[in-house]
Structure 1
Amino acid sequence: MAKGFSNKAAIYIRVSTSEQVTEGVSLDAQLAKLTTYCQQAGLEVVAVIRDEGVSAGKLLIQREGGAKLLEMIHRKEVTHVVALKLDRLFRNAGDALSTIDRWDGGGVTTHLIDFMGGQTLDTRSPMGRMMLGIAATFAQFERDLCGQRTKDALRHKKQNRQAYSPTPLGYVRDGSNLVANATEQAIITVIKSLRLAGKSLRAIATELTQRGLKTKRGGSWYASTIKAILSNDLHYSPG
């Protein structure tokens, strides 16, 4: 099917759990904007696909609505995909560029209506595809910055014994601060001693279980649990 042969469009809207009450991002707000755009662009909306409470960390195929959208594209039921922003559809820049390139090759146009300050963009022209590539790169850059800010904030909390989630073994919460718990600190001492003695993570987990010692939540010990404890800079500094 040649690109642009059909004007049948699928509107895709997504919101994460934390965004559901955010003004301008809610599903209803997205749908209103996208419907108006389709009317003005002469696109026939044949499907409105929703992913509610779904993180951008998931690929389209991993989302219920996203999988439905991909199936419609595969069956040639739509030749236009309309979304608010790049991050509504895709997990990261690489995912966006590879998916859109594949859609372009199959005659499917991607439309973004809130692009870099409220401009609209579609991939029917070389300029549109170039601008999309630039936007994808900047979107990934912003996500990376956000991730780094989160890591820095967590490191600051740890260094200043401020509470964070989940509360690590060895500490209890006292308001916004972490206070050492003697019983749990003793378990950490045992773990560090066994590790320094050359025990493997799995062997340490087994020994703690045999000793009848409990995890933070009273569950079973696993090698991954021991690794997380030793990796927490509140507990352990390799040297």
Structure 2
Amino acid sequence: MKRVTKIEGNNDSKKKLRVAAYCRVSTASEEQRISLAAQKVHYENYIKANQEWELAGLYYDEGISGTKKENRDGLLSLIADCGKGKIDFIMTKSISRFCRNTTDCLELVRKLLEWNVCIEFEKENLNTGTMESEWMLSILSSLAESESVSISENEKWSIQKKFQNGTYIISYPPYGYKNVEGEMVIVLEQAEVVKGIFADTLAGKSPHAMAKELAEKGVPTKRGGTWTSGTILAILRNEKYTGDVMFQKTYTDSRFNRHINYGEQNQYLMQGHHEPIVSHEMFHQANEVVKQRGREKGNGTDTGKYQNRYGFSGRIQCGECGGKWKRRIHYKPSGSYVAWCCSQHIAAKQSCSMKYMTDEAVKAAFLTMMNKLIFAQQTVLRPLQKSLKGLDDKDRVLKIQDYERRLEKNREQRQVLTSLMAGGYLEPALFNKESNVLTREAEMLKQEKGNLIHAVKGNKARVDALEKLLRFTAKKKRVTEFDEEVFRAYVDKSVVLSRSEILFELKCGLNLKERLVD
């Protein structure tokens, strides 16, 4: 007996539009990578929010120029997938992000339209699927092709005018100063450090010795980094400490590459720009000392060989006073041994009571900690990895994107202002007033964006460090010998809590205590 089974049709299975997004940033810096991440999160959320759309992929290029399509693997991959019929619709931020070359832009758009693939350019509010002709796209892409050059030339003109009339604002003053409403104002505590550097130089102290002393005292640098000979020399050579400013020490060429200005471009010296920290006489005398020392030692610039001579150098901190620990040789009738001592205790025992510990004790404690991590990889490191990856950076990335939009609007406003000034439609006084307002707003936005980027970078750095540690522990059954490179790779710093206990602060964010046994 024949049997017929009815199969009900699904009327709800309407085919969704397969939508892809293309993003690009022109440099490979960490900040630009986060900007790229912001664009990707934006498009992912935007596409998934539309019930009639299906995410067909996020394509991107980073660290490259947008003038030639042949240089962009992400774009070429997108076009290839369109040719294979995997994509129906493309979203991108602007024509300049997609293609700055007019010929390439029109060629790609025509090819995509032949495959029934349309593109939406958000900034220009342009959808190639609804255009009656290519005329508008041709004009817009031509403008995009010359956008970088025109903006750059107008910015250069504006900046040079500010150089000439002395209204240029130094947004990031050197150590010893801060920016207060466009003015360079002395930071008293930092200024004392600067005066000390110049005075010590005239007294014969080397940059290496000064950097070491400042680091041991825990004096913070401008950006919270480490004092080095190079940092000291940069301070000694900076004319801003005399109250003068030399504008255009560097310049950007037609290909947007930055160079030191050795006379190729005009420079502008403005005297009495701000309050000095040292006199002109002291500045010149100190620089003569630096030059003489350089002549005596060749070029006198190779300071790297003095840094981090030992595995623990700069990575052991006193838990009592916060001072850095120094390596010393202790002598006994039975022989000598290496020890680490608090610099404050060495200078004055009454300022810190923490006594020395042996080099071997620290190494043994580190080996014990690493072997515990190898043993407890699944119970300690894996859960931490899951926790770190669970931290959602999407909200911060979207906020970064919002700041980028506001910065872009700020740049456009400054561009219009500069064009009006260049055309003679704006009085210099009004131009300077409005330009300064926009510049201060831009600096505020950059600061807020920078804070968010720092937070995102910090989480990413911990994740990367943890994954590196996991790879190391997965390959080892046990470590029996101390390796300086391994210590530097995974430990940010060590804090001596007592003569019997040390805390290792790992780069992945873990803080682990171990016993010290002499």
Report the TM-score when normalising by structure 1.
0.52
Distance 2:118 2:84 in 1: 15
Report the 3-state secondary structure (helix = DSSP H, G, I; strand = E; otherwise coil) of the residue aligned with 1:98: helix
Q: Structure 1 residue 50 and structure 2 residue 55: aligned?
A: no
Task: Write the mapping of 1:97-112 to structure 2, written as runs, cut at 5 A.
Answer: 97-112=106-121
Task: State the match for 1:73 in structure 2.
Answer: 82
Distance 1:70 1:12 in 2: 10
Residues 99 and 40 (structure 1 numbering): CA distance in 2 closer, same or farther, change over 3 Å?
same
Contact 2:66 2:97 in 1 (8 A): yes
Residues 162 and 15 (structure 1 numbering): CA distance in 2 closer, same or farther, change over 3 Å?
closer
Residues 34 and 138 (structure 1 numbering): CA distance in 2 closer, same or farther, change over 3 Å?
same
Task: Write the mapping of 1:212-223 to structure 2, written as runs, cut at 5 A.
Answer: none
**Aligned mate of 1:142, from 130, 143, 147:** 147
Question: Aligned pairs, how many?
Answer: 162
Task: State the match for 1:126 in structure 2.
Answer: 131
Task: State the match for 1:217 in structure 2.
Answer: none
2:140 partner amino acid: A
Distance 1:121 1:167 in 2: 41
Task: State the match for 2:24 in structure 1.
Answer: 14
Q: Structure 1 residue 28 and structure 2 residue 33: aligned?
A: no
Distance 1:21 1:137 in 2: 28
Contact 1:84 1:112 in 2 (8 A): yes
| CA RMSD between the two structures | 4.0
Structure 2 gaps, min length 5: 1-14, 164-246, 251-257, 270-518
Report the 3-state secondary structure (helix = DSSP H, G, I; strand = E; otherwise coil) of the residue aligned with 1:10: strand
Task: Write the mapping of 1:90-239 to structure 2, written as runs, cut at 5 A.
Answer: 90-115=99-124, 120-127=125-132, 130-146=135-151, 148-149=153-154, 163-164=249-250, 165-167=258-260
Report the TM-score when normalising by structure 2.
0.27
Distance 1:37 1:132 in 2: 24
The Cα of 1:18 is off from its aligned counterpart by: 7.2
Contact 1:12 1:48 in 2 (8 A): yes
Distance 1:105 1:99 in 2: 10
Distance 1:92 1:82 in 2: 18
Give me the identity figure in percent.
Answer: 22
Report the 3-state secondary structure (helix = DSSP H, G, I; strand = E; otherwise coil) of the residue aligned with 1:102: helix
**Aligned mate of 1:63, from 61, 72, 75:** 72
The Cα of 1:126 is off from its aligned counterpart by: 2.3
Distance 2:64 2:51 in 1: 28
Residues 48 and 103 (structure 1 numbering): CA distance in 2 closer, same or farther, change over 3 Å?
same
The Cα of 1:56 is off from its aligned counterpart by: 1.6
The Cα of 1:168 is off from its aligned counterpart by: 7.6
Distance 1:58 1:150 in 2: 24
2:56 partner amino acid: V
Residues 53 and 90 (structure 1 numbering): CA distance in 2 closer, same or farther, change over 3 Å?
same
Report the 3-state secondary structure (helix = DSSP H, G, I; strand = E; otherwise coil) of the residue aligned with 1:8: strand
Deviations 1:163-194 (A, max 9, x none): 4454588x69xx988xxxxxxxxxxxxxxxxx
Contact 2:28 2:62 in 1 (8 A): no
Distance 1:8 1:128 in 2: 24
Distance 1:92 1:114 in 2: 17
1:97 partner amino acid: L
Contact 1:9 1:44 in 2 (8 A): yes
Report the 3-state secondary structure (helix = DSSP H, G, I; strand = E; otherwise coil) of the residue aligned with 1:21: helix
Contact 1:20 1:27 in 2 (8 A): no
Report the 3-state secondary structure (helix = DSSP H, G, I; strand = E; otherwise coil) of the residue aligned with 2:31: coil
Distance 2:37 2:19 in 1: 18
Report the 3-state secondary structure (helix = DSSP H, G, I; strand = E; otherwise coil) of the residue aligned with 1:26: helix
Structure 1 gaps, min length 5: 178-239
Residues 121 and 96 (structure 1 numbering): CA distance in 2 closer, same or farther, change over 3 Å?
same
Residues 128 and 21 (structure 1 numbering): CA distance in 2 closer, same or farther, change over 3 Å?
farther
1:66 partner amino acid: L
1:124 partner amino acid: G
Contact 2:100 2:141 in 1 (8 A): no
Contact 2:59 2:74 in 1 (8 A): yes
Contact 1:13 1:51 in 2 (8 A): yes
1:126 partner amino acid: M
